[in-house]
Structure 1
Amino acid sequence: MLPSATTPPDPIRVDIVSNGTPWWEVVSSFGPLAILLTAVITGVFAWRNVRDRREADQRSQWWARAEWALDAAMSEDPPRQEIGLGVLDSLAASDLAGPEEVAILEVAWARFLPSEVDGVDGVGENGAAGEPIVEEAGQ
């Protein structure tokens, strides 16, 4: 008998047999995660590189300022000496000054200050010799 337009066809029976998901499909599903992880690791290394480069540039500028301040401190012009010593003091307190840089500045101060500040025969500019007198505020 011929099927008519009103009678539905007989259903087809389909049996799906699966032995689980193949391993290559499981591995390939981790591809986007691996790309994200690689991007994060690369970003961390790039950020550290930029941070280190910026710190190196800041230290380079610190040394340029220190050279100028040492030159100014050794100048024959008293106002320039005073400015140079003030800049050296600020540079020694800077976060960029490591222990080695502070030691270098201390050597420069030790070689420069005794002859310039204390004057002749160990007598200071204020006329006093020996230990400085420290007074309490308000006395």
Structure 2
Amino acid sequence: MPAQAWVTLVIGLIATIGVIVTWQQKNSADRRSEWWRRTTWACERTFSDSDVEAELGWRVLETLVGSKLVTRSDSDLVQVIAEQGAAGVRDNGEDVHGDDRST
């Protein structure tokens, strides 16, 4: 096999590897973007006036935090949101703004 054929083969293999790596990075970025979109949706539900929607939001957040896509900082961020949500509702059913959520 002549040297020119080897060079062509090596360059072709390098290009193929480059395409595969780029595709994997794009796929990962797209999946993380979708994870964030779903997390945003769930966070919006957790602060809903409807108890049913709030419960749904918390359940979805719980599921999303268990995903393989979540990073440590993502998990910490969701934890802060959960703590803020828990602190926002007092034992007597009023949130920090004085709205009665028990009705």
TM, length-normalised to structure 2: 0.84
Shift of 1:115: 4.1
The alignment status of 1:47 with 2:20, answered yes or no, reads yes
Residues of 2 paired with 1:36 and 1:66: CA distance? 45
Matched with 1:68 is 41
Residues of 2 paired with 1:42 and 1:29: CA distance? 20
Aligned residue pairs total 93
> What are structure 2's unaligned runs of at least 5 residues?
94-103
Alignment root-mean-square deviation, CA = 1.7
TM, length-normalised to structure 1: 0.63
Aligned residues with identical type, % of pairs = 22
Residues of 1 paired with 2:35 and 2:2: CA distance? 51
The alignment status of 1:105 with 2:46, answered yes or no, reads no
Residues of 2 paired with 1:119 and 1:39: CA distance? 66
Matched with 1:120 is 92
Residues of 2 paired with 1:107 and 1:115: CA distance? 12
Q: Would you identify which runs of 4 or more consecutive aligned residues in structure 1 move more than 6 Å?
A: none
> What are structure 1's unaligned runs of at least 5 residues?
1-27, 122-139
